[in-house]
Structure 1
Amino acid sequence: MNITRSSDQMEAGFRLNDPVFVTEDLVMLREQVRRFVEREVVPNGEAWEREGRIPREMYLKLGEMGLLGMQHEEAYGGTEMGSLASVVFGEELSRSTFGGFTASVTVHTDMSASHITRVGTPEQKARFLPDIIAGKTVCSIGVTEAGAGSDVAGLATRATRDGDDWVINGTKMFITNAVYGNLVILGARTDGPGSGARGISLFLVPTDTPGFKVAAKLDKHGWLCSDTAELAFEDMRLPADAMLGGENRGFHAIMKGFEHERLMIGAFCAGEGAKAIELTLDYVRTRRAFGKTIWDQQATRQRLADLASKVAMIRALTYQTAAAKDAGQPVSRETAMIKSVGPEILHEVVHGCLQLHGGTGYMRGTPIERMARDARILRIGGGATEVMLEEVAKRM
């Protein structure tokens, strides 16, 4: 991995200290990602928002830098840096203020292609992972349906065996990277009706497969540069070796993927929350009202101190959980806690910061307005807050 430390002092802004277990390699990774964000994302993100897509060259650049393979084995071009590295990566991408960019890249790196590393055969890994890690193939995860979001066991998309092949019919909804991506990790029912979680399998589906259709590119409230689609499958035929992880074993794999996704959402909340506070500190220290700066008002200082403390708490839980996961400890309860609390904190932070920006914060084109829109989905996607609280309660 091409990680180098710059001799130049990097602008810190509002920063929280790293936990003591964060290694020098991870510090250098953070610096590299931050430089990439400042050089490539911040100047171009507004154009991507208008276009509703991220240029493919961004994935290729990230691939050249070795930043797309942290969850993957060295044998296929990855770096096997683990969950802490992914958290650092997600946190620094989130500080770009473009949530759609963060979502698209991490869906590729951490929420879809990682299934291949976890449960794929050597042949599947050799076929797909090198191009995924290089950024030549962009991945998505196709689980959610109009009638099955947080309730994964309710999937209706059906895969029926026909000789050595599988024939798939059904639809998927709210799928990130599905319009401009190349490969979908697809969840489908392979057992009879009523089989619930026991009857789900995963498949590797190139988007040029006959019968694969982007039914609609969806227009969203936020994450505008991240393409999102409704997919339809009409007698889509796949060979037997397209199955990923074994017949009727997909539910467990999906749950392991969700566990990591919830951890990554904690990283998003930490990065976006800290950046929102940084932007707001810059604003209130220069904006004057009633003869003094807004920062000079005690209520402003205390409000920002309260919000900063909450960001620090979710960040600490996220890093501690990532370290535990890397050490092989069970973390399903903690990741559900992160997902249930982190987005609620971020929602409070970005809207509190927008309030302190006054009318300026309500204008399109300002980072805090965009962040307020982008943050809303995190209370829904990856398991709604209410569902996550039930997941925590089950494990108490």
Structure 2
Amino acid sequence: MPAYKNDKAGTWFCKFYYQDWTGTRKQKKKEGFKTRKEAQEFEREFLAKAHASCDMTFGSLVEIYMEDSKTRLKPTTYTNKQFIIDSKVLPFFRSMPINTITAATIRKWQNELLSDPKGYSQTYLKTVNNQVSAIFNFAVKYYQLASNPCRMAGSMGKKNADSMQFWTMDEFNQFIKAIEDKPAAKVIFELLFWTGMRSGEMLALTLSDFDFSANTVSINKNYARHENQDLILDPKTPKSKRVITLPPFLSQMVKEYADSIYDLDPTERLFQHTKHFLLHEMIRGCKASGVKRIRIHDLRHSHTSFLIEQGYSPLLISERLGHENIETTLGTYSHLYPNKQSEVAALIEKVVTGKKGEGAAPEA
């Protein structure tokens, strides 16, 4: 693996042949290295990547992985992934050959994050760990890495937060009175609380998505703001495309708001705002009303909590929220469902012995 010196510039360069992914033989030349060793290391790493070798460094694997991901992810998802990898993953793993990273290496990295003074949330730690595992899964599937060391190391963090914040109906009513001086804010928060739709779904709505005679709204797109541009994207998952039935009062409220907008194009966004506006109004309303502050996404939890309290089934709630499957709903909200074990035991007691057990459900 020779390297050559440019006597005039006082730097080193490498020049070599390789085969690209089509099998075509090509020449590569790279100049400007300060030392022979740097030029040789560049050639070695370049060939490892070109040959899909597990000798390549983790940093090189990430370059390939991110290039592959860019065409498959939404711009906002890609940017978030890139930020996490650049800030929480590459500083530790960048220069390590991927075939030398073991479960013990992963555990050491995990322990550094777990003990970080910034005190990352359990859900954030889980997200970061999942990113690393996805990179190694990519290497296993496409670059013949023997195994994913993250699987042996075990995960860190939790999928769901320990505590879920939500408003009761009384708290919501207190809040909404504090922001009703802004018609757009009032309608937006009424929609979020009484439908459980995601904020991006709500901000993407157009007048044509509403059927005021049937009192329904169609969820079929998602709004995002990326690099100072408004983006209308596909929904989060296929099941996110759904039709939500509105209570008549809410349907009428949206209609009156739409009628108040001069020359409204039915295909343009009904609410010409961003998530920054939602946050501003959340802070303003909570401060004025004295209601505890929750996240915008917690309005979705608030809607779900209300439905569970009213006794609606997980299947109906799953469909209304646009979850991919009922397991997602149960996994997220199972702790909100009342424990019916004593009622079940009492029913069995009554069937078998004819006696009404303690805790049995009342007679109809």
With the shorter chain as reference, the TM-score category is under 0.3
Q: TM-score, normalised by structure 2?
A: 0.24
